[in-house]
Amino acid sequence: MQKMSVVLFSAPSHECARTIIRQLVEDQSIACGSIIPGCTSLYLWQGALHETAEVQALIKLPSEQTDSVLRTIEQMHPYDVPEIIVLPVVAGLPAYIEWVASYNRQGQ
């Protein structure tokens, strides 16, 4: 069974991503999150080409928390259809993966 997942989501600002990540950490749903500034997204939306300054958020969580984390991000996010992508972690430093995988049970 997969122990750890990584979720990527884009946000319109550092503060938006920070608010979402902080809530998830305080709820003990995720072990940690990072915000990567300086992202430019180009996409078609409702028939028009858009170029938008965004931030990319990267969060690490126990795999069993994925569904609830996705719901929280979607509810808190200002976009109609936010980018939220789940990536399985197939390998990594065993001690780190174990820390993330057990985070919500340990309350650390």
Cα 100 to Cα 62: distance, rounded to the nearest angstrom: 6
What does the domain layout of the chain look like in residue ranges?
A: 4-106
What pLDDT, on a 0 to 100 scale, did the predictor assign at position 108?
A: 46
DSSP-derived letter for residue 28 is T
- Both ends of the chain: CA-CA distance in Å? 23
Locate all alpha helices (DSSP H) within the chain, ordered by sequence: 14-26, 66-76, 94-106
In total, the chain counts a number of residues equal to 108
Overall fold of domain 4-106 = Alpha-Beta Plaits (3.30.70)
Cα 103 to Cα 108: distance, rounded to the nearest angstrom: 6
pLDDT tens readout for residues 16-60: 999 999 999 999 999 999 999 999 999 999 999 999 999 999 999
pTM of the model: 0.90
